[in-house]
Structure 1
Amino acid sequence: MTVPSLLCENKGILQDGICICPDDWTGTTCNIPNFCPEQKPTPTSKFHFLKTVLGQFASSVERCPPETTNAGIPQASSLCNISTHSFNPPNILSCSLTLDAINEGIPGATPEEKKNLASSTQILTSIPERLTPLNITNAAQITNTLLSDQQTTETTDIAISAVATISQLLNASREMYSSVDHTAISELTQTLQKLSLREEQNPLLVQPKMAVQSLKGQKPIRQVQLTFFKGLSDNFLPDRIKLQVTEAEYSKHTVDLQMNVRFSEDFNKDIGFVLYDNDQFFQSKSFQPSLDTKRRVISANLQENSGIDQVQFAVTPSNDSTMSLNDFACVSWSYSKKDWITDGCTKIENHSGDAVCSCKKQKNANFAILMAFDINYQYSEELNGISITGCVLSVLGLSVTALYQIKTRKSRGGSPTLLVVNICLSMMVFYLLFILGINNPVKHIVQNVTNISGENIVPKSDHHKYSDQGPCTAITALLQYFLLATFTWNTLYGINLFLILRNSLSGTPPWFPWVAMAVGWGLPAVIVGISLGSTYHVEDPLGYRQEEFCWLASLDHEQKFSIKKPMLWGFLLPLLLMLISSTLILFYFSYTICRTNPKLNKSRKTPLKKNILSSFSLAVMLGLSWVTGYILLIAQEKKLHYILSVVFCLLNTTQGVQIFILFTLRPFLNSNPAVLNSLRAPEIGLYKKTFFLWKNKTPDSNESYKSTDLDSI
C-alpha cells in the first residue's frame, strides 16, 4: 500500500517524508502557528513589535533618539509568550544606560533591579552588528554575575533574559572575539554548565543561538538522548529539541545533531545540556576556520559524584552542495590549555556520511566535532572549437605581422617596429599558454566518506587545503605576466603615437625605445612578483590562483568577489589604468585627425572613411576590446551578460587576426606586391605641418600646410 505524501503548508519543504518547517510554523504539515502576531501601539502600550517566533524576544520598532547615548538601540523588548501567543508587558530601556553602568550596578541590587538590568542587557546587545569586543566582555560579565547568584528569587526571569543575551553574543562577528576578554567568556561557559543542573527544563531557555536543557532525575536510567531536529533555518527552537531516556533512530535527513550519554550503572540524578550554535566562546589556537561552516558545541553536565561511561554524539555535515566532508576530529574543551583536545575521544566508523564520536569518563565537558571540508570545484571544460580556432589564427596572424614589421622596418623607423613586434611577441606567447595550459591538469576529486582518516587529530582549518602540485601556478604566473606585458606594450604604442602628434618636428625622443624596453617587460614582472610574494604559499596555492582553471584567484570561500585576491590589484586595476590611458590617447588621436584646419586646402582633406578606419586600427592595437570585460563585471541582466560574454570571447580570441588584417594584410594589398622594398606600414592619415626657416615678408603671407600619411607611427 502506498502511503500518501504530506502536503507541506506555509513554505515548508518535504524531506524524507517529513515536512521541514520555517521557524514561525510547526506541526506535521507546518500548519500550526508558532509566532506572536505583529502588535501595533495601543493606548496601553506605545511600542510596536513585529511578528516574532514563540519564546523569543522582539525588539520595538521605536528606537532611542539620535541625541542619546544609545541612539538607534530599541527602546523596549517583549517576550513572545508560548502559552498565550501574545507579547508580554514590555521591558523598557533607559536610553542613557550603558553596559558599563549595568556591570557596576549589579552588586547590591535588589532582585527586581537585577531583573530590570538583565532585560536592559538583552536590549543593549540585540543588534549583533553593533557589538564591540568591550560590549561582549561586559555582557559576558553581567550575565555570568546574574546567573551565578543562586539567592535571586527571580532566577527564571533573569535566566531567560541572560540566555537571550548570550544567544545574541554568539551572533556577533567572529572578528570581534579576537579582542574579547576570554577569561570572562570561560567563566560564563562554566556558569552555564551549573545553570543546566539547577534549572527545571524550561522551553524559554531555548533561544536562536543557544539552549539550556535539563532532565531531572526521577527513576533509574542507563542513558539519555538529546536530539536537535532540522528546520528551514539553523536556529534552536523548543519543538526542535528532544530529550528522552531511550535511544531512538531518526532519519539523517531530519536530524542535525544527536548526543547519547550512557552510564555504567543505573543513574537517577540530574543531567544538563548546553547547546551552542557555534564555537565563538571556544576560540582555538590550533584550529583556525576559514569557511562559514557550523561548529556546534554541546556541553553534557552531571551532578557531583556521578560518572559517565560513554558519551556518543553525531553531527550531520553541512548540506551545502559546494562542500564535502574530508575529515573530522572528536574533541573536548580543555579549560587549562584553553584549546580543543582529543584526549579520551575516538571516531566511530560509519557509512552514513555523518561525523560520529565517542568520548569517555568526562563529567562536565564541552564537546565538539571539528570538520575539514573539500570544496566541490566545478573544473572548467575543455576549450571549445571557436576559442581554439580564434587563438590559433591569432598566433599565425601575429607571427606574420611581426615578420612583416621587421621586413619593412626601414620605412617607419625604429620605435614603431620595436613596439609592434613586442606586442605581437607577448600576445603570441599568451595565446599559446592559454591554449595549452589554461585547464588545470591536476584535479582534486572529492573523496568518499569511507576514506576518512581513522586518526583523531585536530585539523588546522575547516578548509582542507592541498599543497601545490603540477604546473598550474607557473602557468598562471606566465599568463598574468604576458597578458600584462601585452597591455603595457599597447599603452607604450599609444604613448609613442601621442608623442609624435605633440612633437611633429622632433618626433619620438631618442631615449624612448630604451625606456619602453625597460617598462614593457619590467613593469609586468614587478606586478607578478608582488602578487606571488604576497599571496602564494606552497601549502596553499589557492591564495594566488584558482583551482578550477589556471588563472588568478578572485573569489573568497563564499564565492564572492574579494578585494584581497590578486585578480583585483594584480590584474584588473593595472589593466584599468592602462585602458583609461589608451582610451584618452584614442580620443586625442581621433580629434587630431578629424578636426578641420581653416588654413588647409579642402582638396587635401583626408576622407572620413579613412579617418574612421585609422581610429579603429588604433583601437585594435591598443586592446580596447577588453573594455567589454569590465562591462561584464557590472552587467546583471542574464541575456545581456550572455551577449557580452560572446562578444568578449570573439573580440579577444581574434585580436591577433584583427592586427594581422589591419597592420599587415591591408597595407600589403595597398602597396605594389611586385616590389617588396616599397611595402608600407598601415596608413593612418594625419595632417602634418610644414615649417620654413623663414616666412614671406608680405603682409598676406601664410604658413603652408600639406596633408600627408605619417608612416613613422
Structure 2
Amino acid sequence: MKNMCCHLFNISEVKRAYIGVELNLIKVIMQISSDGEELIFNLTDLAVKVTKANLSSLSRTEKYMHIRAPLLSYEDIDCTPETWIPTKIFEKIPEEKRKVAVVSYRSPDHFVFNRERLQSMLIRVELLEEEYTQNLEEPLMMMFQILNSSAHQANHALECQFYDEQARSNNDWSKQGCKTTKNESGIFCTCDHMTPFTVLLVPTDSIDLASWEIQSIISYVGCSLSAFFTAAAILTHVILRSPTQDHSASIHVSLSAALFLLNISFLMNEWLANMRIMPLCMFISVFMHYGLLCSFTWMAIEALHLYLLIVRVLNIYIRSYVAKLAVVGWGVPAVVVGIAFAVRSEPNLFYGLEVITVGNSTSALCWITEPRYFYGLNLSYFALIFLFNNSILLTVSIRIFQMRRFEKKDSMTMPWKQACMVLGLTCLLGSTWGLAFLSYGALSVPMQYLFCIFNSLQGFLIFLWICRTSRKAKREAVSRTTS
C-alpha cells in the first residue's frame, strides 16, 4: 500500500492537484482571526506565517514590509529566506483583509517535476486577496541562502524561478517576471508576482566568464569600427553623390545607415543601463530594436535588388524605385516597434532593463524584457528574411559561376574573384546572422565567436564592399568615355 502511494505521488497530475489542495488550506489558515499582527502555524511538512499589514505603523517613506520566512526547526535559522513585501498593494485592499502569508517547506519534493535542482529553501508568498498578486507595481523582493554551494557545475547558473500554477505545459517552473542578482549575502530575487519561489541550478548557454569577456571585447571593437566606417560611408555618399549613380549605391548606404543606428545604440546601451533611468533605458532599447529590424529589412531589400539586377535583368523599371524601398526599409520596422510600444507602453513589459548573469559577473542591458515577444517577433522576422535572402544568394551564386564560361580571362584567377564576390554578397545579405541557429551543442562556443566577429564587423565589411564597387563603377565609366 505504501509503495502504491509513493508511485501515485510521483505522477505530475497528482502533484499539481496536491499543490492546489495545499493552497486552499493556506487560504483557510489566513482567514483565521487573531488579536496580534503575526500568527505562525507549524505543521508537519510546512510552516505558515500570517502577517497583518498595519499601514498606520509604517512611515510614508517605507515602501516594503520585511518578513522572515517561518522556521521549521531551530537548525534552519541560517538558511531561512527573507522577504520584502511592497506595501503599495495593501492600499487597495480593505483593512480587515490586509494579510500576507509566507510559507516554508520542509521538503520540496512535490514541486519537483522534471528533475529540477533546487539550491535553496522553497517558500510561498500569498495574499488573502488573490487578485492583487500579479503584475505588481513595486516588485516582491526575496533573499535566499544557497544550501549546497559545492554542487555548482560549469556552464550552470543559479537562477530565481517560480512555480507556475497556470502552466499548460510541462514547464512548471519559469523565470518570467523575475530577476536574479548574486551578492555576498546570497541570491537576491525580485519578481512582479506572488507564488512559490526558489533558486534553481540551471544550464546556461555553454559560455563561461572568460569567453563572455572576450566576446564582449570583440563585439565592442567590431561595433566601434562598424559605426565609424558606416558613418564614413554615409558622409561620403552625401558629399560625393551624383545623379548618374545607380540604385545599388543608395541601397548600400541605407543599409549602412541602419547598421550605424544598431551599432551606436549597442555601444551606448550598457552605459545608459547602468544609470538606471527607466525612461532613458526604454528609449535606447526601442532605438536598438528599431535599428535591428531596419538592418534586417534593408538586407532583404539588398537581396530583392540583387535578384532584379542579376537574375531578372529585363523589364525592371519601377517608378520612384528608391523612394518606395525607403518607405519599406524604414517604415515597416517603425510600424512594428510602434505597435508594440503603443499596445503595452508600461515599464518593464516589452522594453526595459535586463540583468545578465555569467558566473559571478553581472551586467545590465536595456533590451526586450518579454521573452515571448523577443522570440516570437525577432526570430520569425529574421527567419523569413534569412530564407528569402539565402534562396536569392544561392540563385545568384549559380548565375555568377555560370558566367565564367563567357569570360575571356585567366582561368586561374576567375574562380578566386567569383568566390570573393559570393563572400561579399554573403555579408551584404546578412547570411552570417544565421550562425545564431548553430550556437548549440558542441559547436556552441566556436559559433558564438564567429557570430560576434562577422556581425560586429558587418558595417566595416560593407564599407569595403562599397569602396570596391564604386572603384569598379568609376573604371567602367572611364572606359565607356574613352570608347
TM-score normalised by the shorter chain: which range applies? Answer: 0.5 to 0.7
The aligned runs of 1:383-402 (5 Å cut-off) are 386-402=218-234
CA contact (8 A) 1:128 1:171 kept: no
Letter in 2 for 1:549: L
CA contact (8 A) 1:228 1:255 kept: no
Residue 455 of structure 2 corresponds to residue 652 of structure 1: yes
The Cα of 1:427 is off from its aligned counterpart by 1.3
Q: What do the CA deviations read for 1:419-441 (whole angstroms, capped 9, x no partner)?
A: 11211112112222222234444
Q: Is the 8 A contact 1:620 1:655 kept in 2?
A: yes
The yes-or-no answer on 1:551 pairing with 2:367 is yes
CA distance in 2, matches of 1:658, 1:591: 23
Once the two structures are superposed, the pairs formed by residues 479-494 of structure 1 within 5 Å of their partners are 479-494=288-303
Pairs within 5 Å for 1:684-695: none
1:416–1:395 CA distance, 2 compared to 1 (3 A) = same
Deviation at residue 186 of structure 1 after TM alignment: 6.5
Q: Note if 1:636 corresponds to 2:436.
A: no
Q: For the residues of structure 2 that align with 1:381 and 1:678, how far apart are their CA atoms? A: 49
Aligned to 1:595, the other structure's residue is in SS state helix
Letter in 2 for 1:253: D
Give the distance between the partners of 1:491 and 1:628, measured in 2 at CA: 17
1:423 and 1:490 in contact (8 A); partners too: yes
Give the aligned partner of residue 174 of structure 2.
Answer: none
1:661–1:604 distance in 2 versus 1, CA, 3 Å? same
Matched AA of 1:129: S
Q: In 2, Cα distance between the equivalents of 1:168 and 1:528?
A: 39
Give me the whole-angstrom Cα distance separating, in 2, the residues matched to 1:532 and 1:655: 28
User: In the alignment, is residue 129 of structure 1 matched against residue 12 of structure 2?
Assistant: yes
Q: Distance in 2 between matches of 1:173 and 1:402?
A: 65
CA distance in 2, matches of 1:385, 1:251: 44
Deviations 1:579-616 (A, max 9, x none): 21111110111112223699x58779992222222222
2:133 aligned with 1:288:
yes
In structure 2, distance between residues paired with 1:385 and 1:168:
46
**Residue pair 2:352, 2:366 contacting (<8 A) in 1 also:** no
CA deviations over 1:644-684 (Å, ceiling 9, x no partner): 22221111221121112222146538956xx9x7499xxxx
- Maintained 8 Å contact 2:80/2:145: no
Q: Is the 8 A contact 1:393 1:654 kept in 2?
A: yes
Q: Which residue among 449, 467, 470 is the counterpart of 1:664?
A: 467
Following superposition, the deviation at residue 525 of structure 1 comes to 0.8
User: In the alignment, is the contact (CA less than 8 A) between 1:423 and 1:489 conserved in 2?
Assistant: yes
Distance 1:428 1:477 in 2: 15
Cα separation, 2, equivalents of 1:281 and 1:250: 25
The number of residue pairs the alignment matches comes to: 346
Larger radius of gyration: 1
Matches within 5 A, 1:427-438: 427-438=259-270
Amino acid paired to 1:169? A
Mapped pair 1:228 → 2:44:
no
Please say if 1:169 is aligned against 2:17: yes
**What residue ranges of structure 1 are gaps of 5+ in the alignment?**
1-46, 48-56, 60-76, 80-122, 132-166, 192-204, 212-225, 230-248, 258-274, 296-315, 325-351, 354-368, 445-467, 555-561, 681-713
Measured in 2, the distance between the counterparts of 1:78 and 1:502 equals 68
**1:503-542 alignment to 2 at 5 Å?**
503-538=312-347, 540=348
CA distance in 2, matches of 1:78, 1:435: 56
Following TM superposition, by how much is the alpha carbon of 1:510 offset from its aligned partner in structure 2, in angstroms? 2.5
The alignment partner of 2:78 has SS state of coil
1:513 alignment partner AA: V
| Structure 2 CA distance for aligned equivalents of residues 409 and 173 of structure 1 | 76
Give % identity: 18
2-side partners of 1:189 and 1:436: how far apart? Answer: 49
Which AA in structure 1 matches 2:17?
L
1:260-659 paired onto structure 2 within 5 Å:
277=105, 284-285=129-130, 287-288=132-133, 318-319=144-145, 386-405=218-237, 407=240, 409-410=242-243, 412-413=245-246, 415-442=247-274, 469-538=278-347, 540=348, 545-547=353-355, 548-553=364-369, 562=371, 564=372, 566-595=373-402, 607-632=414-439, 635-637=440-442, 640-659=443-462
Quote the residue 2:3 is aligned against: 58
CA distance in 2, matches of 1:128, 1:483: 45
Structure 2's unaligned 5+ residue stretches are: 33-42, 49-69, 83-102, 106-122, 147-157, 162-184, 187-193, 200-208, 356-363
Aligned partner of 1:30 in structure 2 is none
The whole-number CA distance in structure 1 between the counterparts of 2:217 and 2:26 is 60
Cα gap change, 1:616/1:661 in structure 2, threshold over 3 Å: closer, same or farther?
same
Q: TM-score normalised to the size of structure 2? A: 0.57
Superposed displacement of residue 396, structure 1: 2.9
Contact preservation (8 Å) 1:531, 1:570: no
Residues 434 and 595 of structure 1: CA distance in aligned 2, closer, same or farther (over 3 Å): same
Residue equivalent to 1:264: none
Change (3 A) 1:409 1:536: same
Counterpart AA for 2:434: V
Secondary structure in 2 matching 1:252:
helix
Rounded to whole Å, the distance in 2 between the matches of 1:472 and 1:533 is 17
Q: Distance in 2 between the 1:476 and 1:502 partners?
A: 39
Change (3 A) 1:279 1:227: closer
2:230 and 2:460 in contact (8 A); partners too: yes
Is contact 1:527–1:570 with CA below 8 Å preserved after alignment? no
RMSD between aligned alpha carbons?
4.9
Distance 1:617 1:430 in 2: 20
In the alignment, is the contact (CA less than 8 A) between 2:270 and 2:365 conserved in 1? yes
Structure 1 residue 481 displacement after superposition:
0.4
Q: Which letter maps to 1:626? A: W
Q: Given that residues 439 and 550 in structure 1 are in contact (C-alpha distance below 8 angstroms), is that contact kept between their aligned partners in structure 2?
A: no
Q: TM-score, normalised by structure 1?
A: 0.41
| Higher helix proportion | 2
Deviation per residue, 1:331-354 (Å, 9 max, x gap): xxxxxxxxxxxxxxxxxxxxx99x
